[in-house]
Chain A
Amino acid sequence: MDGAMILEWVIKSIFLILVMTGGFAYVTLYERKVLARIQVRIGPNRAGPFGVLQPVADGIKLIFKEELVPAKADKLIFTLAPVLTVIPALIITAVVPWGTEVTLFGRTIKLYLADINIAVLYLMAVTSISIYGIALAGWSSNNKYATLGGLRATAQMISYELALGFAMIVPVMMAGSMSLVDIVESQKPVWFVFVQPLAFLIYFIAALAEINRSPFDMPEAEQELTAGYHTEYSGMKFALFFMAEYIKMIAISMIGSSLFLGGYRGPFVDQLPALGPLYLFIKVAIVLFVIIWIRATLPRIRYDRLMQFGWKVLFPLALLNVFVTGVVLILVGG
């Protein structure tokens, strides 16, 4: 057992969690600002210059809010559900590389948490667990809106998980490895998005549905389900659901960037590895902007159409894409 090694791991883990939490706080501000600009408003601008202290103010407010637990709710599961929603959102980022390695204080530090040989399957597994938090939140509230929201979320997430899985096979085929580090490295000549634009599009749409983002935010459709699965939640527990949603947004942007947009790769990254996290940050910011832009532009899809789109359009398309990629790679590669 190498003590310094474990310390390095713990520090990296805590650092990543802090980055994701801080990222969550500022993505909320980013989203409000971008939405406001698209709707020709200014957005939050009172707390600090350009509203940079707004997330802090929101956080303090949410901590001091009273938490209500419905009298008929299943209290243990009701408290457990927000925790179970946040954990998968955080741990899915463990396998995403932010760079190669840098030398700091005479130690070579790898700029990723874990390079596991079945990282893409790990992503799929964590995605499939993340259903539970939402389903349990809806069920334990003993509220009809919440239960329906939870059920809808579950059915929607499993439907789009298939398309997600088939879209993620394509980079694995091209790289010949499931490790995200290898996948990013094999995008040295060309990013996979230029070779496989359809796979990226399928990944992006399915991932949006997977995290219940607009236009697939049916589980929390205000007009019919009040707030969906988190109708009964307030205070910090509500904040945790909110946090999970935004961390998932960051996570799918990071994973999408790594699988299709070259991850931390960019000009001069081989000479100066410290540029890696910066490139990844820029790519994530751009993908997040597109996600917010979609929210500002597209109306919500009706639930039956959403399920039909997932099963009858996206899933066969993803299957066909794997099929065609297999054949074309054989023909090109000989």
Chain B
Amino acid sequence: MLNDWSYVAIFTVISMFLPAAAIAIASFLAPKKPNPIKNSIYECGVETVGATWVQFKVQYYIYTLVFLLFDVEIIFLYPWAVAYNQLPLFAVVEVIIFILILLGGLLYAWRKGALEWV
């Protein structure tokens, strides 16, 4: 299957070498003199208090949830966009209905306050 996709695969493999080589070269050339103070966590000179990995805001999760649904919508719309020039009016109306239904979902999330950060 020698086609443009194998090309992308070759390019991906080659592009992995660049950052890997950079880190490898630097690990040979860079000095290594660690000490506990250097390796402590940076917090503007103040010692860090409490655990870093604590419970985070639920808002991050809600945004991702709404994002997921519209992400799926985008994927449905791309094949439609490709075929757009050759579609009958009926098909375009269908997609407009599709968008409107999802717009309704967005409005619900909006009214419900899911899009508020604070």
Contact = CB atoms under 8 A, between A and B. Distances in A.
Q: Do chains A and B touch in the complex (CB under 8 A)?
A: yes
A116 B14 contact: no
A9 interface: yes
Nearest to B106: A316
A307 B63 contact: yes
A114 to B, nearest CB: 4
B11 A172 contact: no
Give the size range of A's interface with the partner.
35 or more
Nearest to A162: B70
B7 A236 contact: no
A53 interface: no
Contact of A323 (B52, B71, B78, B99): B99
A91 B16 CA distance: 9
B85 A87 contact: no
A284 interface: no
B110 interface: yes
B101 interface: no
A118 to B, nearest CB: 8
A10 B14 contact: yes
A115 B4 CA distance: 6
Interface in B2-37: 2, 4-5, 7-8, 10-12, 14-16, 18-20, 22-23, 25-27, 29-34, 36
Given A90-B15, A177-B82, A226 B25 contact: no
Contact of B14 (A13, A82, A115, A172): A13
Nearest to B87: A330
B27 to A, nearest CB: 7
Given A165-B71, A232-B42, A240 B11 contact: no
B74 A95 contact: no
A265 interface: no
Interface string A239-254: 1100000000000000
Nearest to A84: B19
Contact of A91 (B15, B43, B70): B15
Given A69-B34, A165-B74, A236-B30, 14 more contacts: A13-B7, A70-B42, A116-B5, A118-B78, A128-B71, A143-B43, A145-B42, A155-B64, A176-B85, A178-B78, A240-B23, A307-B115, A308-B115, A322-B77
